[in-house]
Amino acid sequence: MTAAAHSPGPTPADPSADPTGGRTMESPTLAAWVGDVAGFAERRWQREPAVFTPPSSAPPFDLDELDAAFDSGLLRTPYLEMVRSNKVVVPPDAYTASRVVNGITYSGFADRAKVVAQLRAGATLLLRCVDQWHRPTGELVARLSEELDRRVEAFFFVTPVGGQGLAVHRDDADVFVLQVAGSKTWYVHDAPAVADWQPGELPDDEHSPRLLHTLLEPGGVLYVPRGFAHRAVGAAGLSAHLSLTIRDVCLQDLRTALEELLTEGLDLPARPLGEPAVADACAALLRQVRTASDTVTPDD
């Protein structure tokens, strides 16, 4: 198993700078892709992009499974989308069809012929949340989520030669790309320069240094750290890959957890009547927060 990466990345000087929070990262699923998980966590995780060539990545969703999804007749929006990087919006009726069931017309069902036509025109097929409707993918996502104690989602991309589904963008998640078929050229750029960054397409005036330029072929695995800008272009054949996004905690998650910890066990009326009752509830809440805040730690 080999790994390639660019930019050595910073080495944390203390546990507070460690993106794993000082915890040991243990994941048999990741081990099948990256080999030494402890070494990956220490040197790569949320620090730098890397490419791996495991003996076998065996993604649960491939082009045969895509055909089966079309054959089922149940694939529809919002799980199905066609995208282009040149800001051209592909309308749903350009790749879906309507059906009449019990006298009622329902739209958004995948139309294979239309999808193929869009692929030939350079669009990329994007299947969202594959784990919600494909059992083997759901099992993989559930296993990885349990191992990492993080929310994980799965997306499937099919891109023609020269096609680019998304412009340079940042994801609010760590991403593992499992190349299924064809090949795709990837460009991965640096992390955001400031903490107050936004996911999505990079503004026209933002230029991020490129860290990695690689050709990913079937069986290859690419790791893109959270927030690192990236884009991909179909290189040879019909390129297909499964992306697994690993969501980390955000400020809103911390606020919610803090509120739950500070108010745990507090029994107050939901709708106190009158100003004296409201003042009493406020005083009780403040006492609870002052007491609890002395015992709450980041590990909580």
CB 184 within 8 A of CB 222: no
Burial of 258 (0-12, 13-18, 19+ CB in 10 A): middle
With a cut of 60, say whether residue 14 has pLDDT above it.
Answer: no
| Same domain (yes/no): 266, 154 | no
Distance CA 104, CA 88 (A): 31
Taking phi over 0 as left and psi of -120 to 50 as alpha, with beta for the rest, 13 belongs to alpha
Q: Domain range for residue 50?
A: 3-62+126-247
Question: Looking at 33-42, 129-138, 199-208, which range is the least confident one?
Answer: 199-208
pLDDT digits (tens, 9 = 90+) for 223-243: 999 999 999 999 999 999 999
Total number of domains constituting the chain: 2
Average pLDDT over residues 251-260: 69
Whole-number pLDDT of residue 251: 65
**Torsion angle (degrees, nearest 10) of CA 40, 155, 150, 58:** -50
With a cut of 50, say whether residue 130 has pLDDT above it.
Answer: yes
With a cut of 60, say whether residue 298 has pLDDT above it.
Answer: yes
Whole-number pLDDT of residue 223: 97
User: Is 91 a domain residue?
Assistant: no
Q: To the nearest whole number, what is the mean pLDDT of the chain?
A: 86
pLDDT digits (tens, 9 = 90+) for 34-46: 999 999 999 999 9
Neighbours of 143 (CB within 10 A): 14
| Same domain (yes/no): 152, 221 | yes
| Same domain (yes/no): 231, 271 | no
User: Is 134 a domain residue?
Assistant: yes
Distance CA 275, CA 272 (A): 8
| Same domain (yes/no): 33, 152 | yes
Banded model confidence at residue 164, pLDDT cuts 50, 70, 90: very high
| Same domain (yes/no): 287, 185 | no
